[in-house]
Structure 1
Amino acid sequence: MGIPEKSLIGERAQRVYERLNQGTDGEWGMDRNAWDWVPGVGVISQLAYYERNGSPEIIADLRRWVAANRHRAGAVNVINSMAPYAIFPALYRLTGESGLLEEAKRIGDWMRFEAPRTRGGAWEHTVTEDASFPEQVWADTVFMAALFMSRLARVTGQEEYAEEAVRQLTLHLRQLQDEATGVLFHGWDCRAGNPLSGARWTRANAWIALATPMMLEELKPFGTIPDEVPERYRTLMTALGRYQLEGGLWPTVLDRPDFYTETSGSAGIACGILYGIRQGLLEPKLQAVADRALPAVLERIGSDGTVTGVSGGTPVLQTVEHYNEVPCYPTLYGQGLALMLLAEYNGAKGVSGDGE
């Protein structure tokens, strides 16, 4: 199966964007009017769409969203709700609105000095829900918080933010990567010294597969990336290709091909491959993996732009089998990860779109 025409990819991307931007108040997975990781991934993806699309209306949409929702942020200073701040540095560069930068620096300092950490120095995964995960490191945190820190470093030029971003990325890769397979566990318990349920959850891998090249791009001016990071990243991405199913997607747990296939994690992994190749981190031959995923993701986009086959919010579950029981429904992060993948194909130079 070849790569679909760019015109088709672009049309589907716009539908996905419009559905994401519409949202649905009161519906957990699609509620844009909140300040948490779910709408955070949504607005991060909208910014990525703008970077590959260039439409000023996208920035106008993001500015309206910030104006309508930033007042909700004050009461939710937890790591998992940092995701929306990742668009602040770019909006500051584009608009010159100093309040965006000041707020981003305030949050960056909270993350540096006050955010709970594990005994090894990684940010403890904290959430807005009434739950706590003491001494736990989750893969989600890299996309939800460390990405913001790398962008704050870039816009301010401050080494302290860059050092923290690199520290968190390195610690998460080091603690979560399964040396036997090369892929990532969903979480790690620093007290018990084990990977909790031991689930090699696909979307956990997608968060870091995509966030790593995004972060390294922001951190280039600082030259502080240890060799361990790109080495571990290449190991991860090569290993992920081995778990891709024949139809182009990945099962919701990587090493359980009998589990259902999941769209958001698949889109995130494929997009991470494209980002990594574009930045020279990965060998171009890995694009074949992403090319197999693209048509399968497109098949899961409804006529109204809704991305289907997206698993719901998933903490580190008690057993691997429980991951196959997570229901699927539309979510802003499902819309967002699919949008980023489509935008990368539609806007990427040198990506074939001739349908052959």
Structure 2
Amino acid sequence: MVKLELAEALKQTADRIYAYMLDDHTGNWGLDIGHWDWVPGVGVIAILSYYEKLEQPEVLDRLVRWTADNLHQAERQKVINSMAPFAIFPELYRRTQDSVLLETARRIADWMLHEAPRTREGAWEHTVTENASFPEQVWADTVFMAVLFMARMGRLTGDMAYISEALRQLELHLELLQEEASGVLFHGWNCIAQNHMSAARWTRANAWIAVGTPMILEELAGTATIPEAITTRYVRLMQGLIGYQRADGLWPTVLDREDFYPETSGSAGIACGIRKAVRLNLLDPANLEAADRALEGVLKTVLPTGEVTGVSGGTPVMPSIEAYNAIPQYPTLYGQGLVLMLLAEAIEVK
């Protein structure tokens, strides 16, 4: 009975978060789902996860409508960071058999394979829609925003070029960003300067790969041999992250700075990653204790309206570690989305 009551409580919270995401937030950068970029992209990826767990037809209908309403904007935003929305196309194609989805996804995947800017190591350069340039920089964000889509295209089509590229990019990002001593990740890598810039162990950067890696490996299961370096580095990452967890279950916005504010989106992403990794036998079930404590802490940040609080704003690689603590907090689709994904992973459905 307790488990059933908990599942229902989590579902109700997830429903409120989802509804808040669909409210009219026109003109609000963090919450406006009616445009094409990484922020709404994380939102729709999370909504798809929510749909896949609960199979509510109206949720799928909403995703199909969102795609139809916003697809015309996609080709104008050909940068790695705005690839995120395409990650829902393979599953929507399976469900609808709409050939436009498959044709568009193939065209974008081929652009990523052959034309997207790369660093000298071969990693995708982190390009953005904002008026900013980060030449030859590798960011952790790219794994969730772009590599996930490539993996899903590999699974859908069986195209080994897509599959191999997804694995290559995941391995490169782990190799270039991981700190050997702690196992956790730095926010970014500058291939020109050959350094990690401010060398911030930013929590949400770690979360993108913590949750993105098991999602990618689940897509590619049975399609190719997974390099041992990926699984070894991922386990070290997750063990390192759990070591930085605060007593309240959350993680500070920079992992090794417990005096910095606790950050909800990164905490939710890490906890979701733990749950997914345990389910896929990448991590020992004993690690669920950390995920449970995080879930308890994250739930306290959700208002009765469904708004997720304690989410740090958009964050490039900052010039100093202290600057991360000055990033303002406000509700965002990626904050809503990462919490929604955590709840979808935690809900037990009979």
TM tier relative to shorter chain: over 0.9
Q: Distance in 2 between matches of 1:47 and 1:74?
A: 22
Q: Distance in 1 between matches of 2:223 and 2:191?
A: 30
Residue 291 (str. 1) matches residue 292 (str. 2): yes
**Equivalent residue, structure 2, for 1:164:** 165
Deviations 1:147-191 (A, max 9, x none): 000000000011000000001000000000000110000000011
Residue 97 (str. 1) matches residue 101 (str. 2): no
**Equivalent residue, structure 2, for 1:216:** 217
Residue 43 (str. 1) matches residue 47 (str. 2): no
- Matching residue's letter, 1:191: I
Aligned Cα root-mean-square deviation (Å):
1.2
**Equivalent residue, structure 1, for 2:109:** 108
Q: Distance in 1 between matches of 2:68 and 2:101?
A: 11
Bigger shift: 221-230 or 302-311? 221-230
**Equivalent residue, structure 1, for 2:303:** 302
Aligned-pair CA distance for 1:23: 4.6
Structure 1 contact 139–176 (Cα < 8 Å) conserved: yes
Q: Equivalences for 1:321-332 in 2 at 5 Å?
A: 321-332=322-333
**Equivalent residue, structure 2, for 1:339:** 340
Aligned-pair CA distance for 1:223: 2.1
**Equivalent residue, structure 1, for 2:195:** 194
Runs of 4+ in 1 over 4 A off after TM superposition: none
Q: Distance in 1 between matches of 2:24 and 2:223?
A: 38
Q: Distance in 1 between matches of 2:62 and 2:148?
A: 21
TM-score for both structures, normalised by structure 1: 0.96
User: Structure 2 regions of 5+ residues with no counterpart?
Assistant: none
Q: Distance in 2 between matches of 1:77 and 1:127?
A: 9
Aligned-pair CA distance for 1:348: 6.2
Q: Distance in 2 between matches of 1:224 and 1:78?
A: 29
Residue 251 (str. 1) matches residue 249 (str. 2): no
**Equivalent residue, structure 2, for 1:179:** 180
Q: Is the partner of 2:312 in helix, strand or coil?
A: coil
Aligned-pair CA distance for 1:51: 1.1
- Matching residue's letter, 1:21: L
**Equivalent residue, structure 1, for 2:119:** 118
- Matching residue's letter, 2:148: L
**Equivalent residue, structure 1, for 2:75:** 74
**Equivalent residue, structure 2, for 1:12:** 13
Q: Distance in 1 between matches of 2:23 and 2:88?
A: 18
Aligned-pair CA distance for 1:295: 1.2
Residue 263 (str. 1) matches residue 245 (str. 2): no
- Matching residue's letter, 2:160: E
Structure 1 contact 166–224 (Cα < 8 Å) conserved: no
Q: Distance in 2 between matches of 1:23 and 1:301?
A: 19
Q: Distance in 1 between matches of 2:178 and 2:24?
A: 35
Q: Using CA pairs below 8 Å that are at least 6 residues apart, which structure has the higher relative contact order? A: 1
- Matching residue's letter, 1:260: Y
TM-score for both structures, normalised by structure 2: 0.98
Structure 2 contact 80–145 (Cα < 8 Å) conserved: yes
Q: Is the partner of 1:303 in helix, strand or coil?
A: coil
Deviations 1:115-137 (A, max 9, x none): 00000000000000010000100
Q: Distance in 2 between matches of 1:324 and 1:220?
A: 38
Q: Distance in 2 between matches of 1:224 and 1:160?
A: 14
Q: Is the partner of 1:90 in helix, strand or coil?
A: helix
**Equivalent residue, structure 1, for 2:230:** 229
Q: Distance in 1 between matches of 2:24 and 2:170?
A: 31
Deviations 1:238-268 (A, max 9, x none): 1100000000100000000000000000000
Q: Distance in 1 between matches of 2:21 and 2:33?
A: 8
Deviations 1:89-120 (A, max 9, x none): 00000001111001000000000000000000
Q: Distance in 2 between matches of 1:197 and 1:348?
A: 44
